[in-house]
A and B are shown apart, each in its own frame.
Chain A
C-alpha cells in the first residue's frame, strides 16, 4: 500500500466507534473545522461575550450565531482534541501491552466489525 493510500485509509475509512482510529479521526475532523472557522475570521465576532456587536453590518443575531460557533469549535479544539489524541495513545498502548488472547476480546479494529455483525 502506498503511503498516500494508507493515509487515505486511515483518515477516511470509517473506524469502529471509540476505537483508537475513531478517536484520531474525530480529532482530525475537529482540527479541520477549527482551521476553517479560524481562517473565516469567526474569532472577530466573539466580542459578543462582553456585549459588543461583532459587526454592525451583520447585526446582533448573525454575529452572535457566528460567535457561538467559533467558541464551541475553539473549545473542542483546545480541550477535546488533546483528550482524543491522548485517549487514542492510551488505547494503542493498552492493546499492545495486554496478552494477544485478551487483545482480540477487546476487539481491535480489524476484527471487531465481524464480531458486531455476528451479534
Chain B
C-alpha cells in the first residue's frame, strides 16, 4: 500500500514537473516572427495562402454559396462584411504585389458588382440582421450607414489602386448622400439600424469620404474635423478613455468600448487623426490586449465595463475573458501600429486555437469563417492603401 502511494505521488510529481516545463514552452511550437503574418513589403506567406483561398471562393460559385449560406444562417452582415474586407485587402495586395494586379482588380470588380446588384435587387435589408425590420428608422427614407460606408470604401479603394470611370458616379452619389445626412443630423450621428448607430460604421464612412476627397478633389475636411471633435467629447467612455462602440441617434450610449469593433475603429482613425488613433491603440492594448504564456489574445470589454456576450464578441472563454471576436480583430490593430510582439503573439494563438487547414496552398481557419478569414487577410495586408492616401498619391 505504501509502495502504491509512493508510486502515485512520484507520478503526480512527475506530471506537475512536466507541466511546469511544457506549458511555458508550448507557444514556441506556434510562434513565428511577425513577418510571417505581415511584411512591410510584398505579401507574407500567410497572406498569400489566405488570399488563395478567397480568390478560389470567388471563382467557384458552389464553394462560395456553401460558405456564404453557412454564415447567413447566423448573420447576414457577415456575408456583406466578408466582401468589404476582401475588397479592401485586395486593394492593398494590388499595391504590394503589382504582378497580380489584373487578377486582384477583376476579383474586386466582381465582388463590388455582385454586392451592388444584390443591394438593388433584394433591398438593403438583405445584408442586415432581421431586427432591422422590426422598427422604423428615425430618419426617412431609411439608410444604413453600415452599408453605405462600406460600399463607398469598397468603391474608393478600387479607384485608388486604378481608376474605373464607371465607379466614379457610384462613389460620388454614395458619398454625397452620406454627407447630406451628416449635415441634416443635429448630432452628426447616422443610423445603421433603427435608432442604433455604430462607431465602426461612422469611421469607415469618414475614411471613404477622405478617399473620395483625394480622388475627386472635393473637400470634406471640416466635416471630418467636426465629427472627430464631437466624438472625442461625447462618445468616449470616461473610465477607460476608449471610444464606445454603439449609441442611439441622440448620442445615448448603447454598448461601451468593445474589442470586436474597436480595433478596426482604431485602424480607420489612423487615416483621420493619427495621434488620436495611436492614443486609442495604446489604451486598447493596455485595457483589452494580453499575452499569457506567449499567447496573445484580447478581451471584449475593459475591466471597468460589464458587457454581455453577443454575435460580435463570440463566446467568451472564462477565466482569461478571451473574446474570439476581439482577439481576431486585434490583429488589425497590432498590424496598423507595427506592434510586432503583440502581432506575433496573436498569430501564435491563431495557429494554436483557430485550427488552420491548408489544402493545395490555400489556408483557412476552421474556427473562423469567411468574414473572419477576410478580416485576417486584411490584417496581413493593410498599410499601402492608407499610406497612399496619407502621402497624397493619385491612382
Binding site for B on A (CB under 8 A): 16-19, 22-23, 43-47, 49-53, 55-56, 74, 78-79, 82-88, 90-91, 94, 105-107, 111-112, 115-116, 119
Q: Annotate B296-311 by CB proximity to A: 1 below 8 A, 0 otherwise.
A: 0000000000000001
Q: By the criterion CB–CB under 8 Å, are A87 and B14 in contact? A: yes
Q: By the criterion CB–CB under 8 Å, are A86 and B18 in contact? A: yes
**Which label, helix, strand, loop or mixed, suits the secondary structure of the B interface?**
helix
* Chain A hits for B8, CB < 8 A: 17-18
Q: By the criterion CB–CB under 8 Å, are A115 and B11 in contact? A: no
Q: By the criterion CB–CB under 8 Å, are B26 and A18 in contact? A: no
In the bound complex, how far is the Cα of B75 from the Cα of A101, in angstroms?
Answer: 67
In the bound complex, how far is the Cα of B7 from the Cα of A79, in angstroms?
Answer: 23
Q: Annotate B59-91 by CB proximity to A: 1 below 8 A, 0 otherwise.
A: 000000000011101110010000000000000
Instruction: Decide yes or no whether B19 CB sits under 8 A from chain A.
Output: yes
Instruction: Decide yes or no whether B99 CB sits under 8 A from chain A.
Output: no
Interface size on B, residues (CB 8 A): 40
Q: By the criterion CB–CB under 8 Å, are A86 and B21 in contact? A: yes
Which residue of B6, B14, B71 is within 8 Å of A105 (Cβ)?
Answer: B6
Which residue of A43, A49, A84, A91 is within 8 Å of B324 (Cβ)?
Answer: A49
- Complex A-B: 30 CB contacts under 8 Å: A17-B11, A18-B12, A19-B7, A19-B11, A23-B11, A46-B367, A47-B367, A49-B367, A50-B324, A50-B369, A50-B372, A51-B75, A52-B71, A56-B69, A56-B70, A78-B26, A79-B22, A79-B26, A84-B18, A86-B18, A87-B11, A87-B17, A88-B14, A90-B14, A91-B10, A91-B11, A94-B10, A107-B3, A111-B3, A115-B1
Instruction: Indicate the member of A78, A86, A94 with the most B CB atoms within 10 Å.
Output: A86
* Chain B hits for A45, CB < 8 A: 366
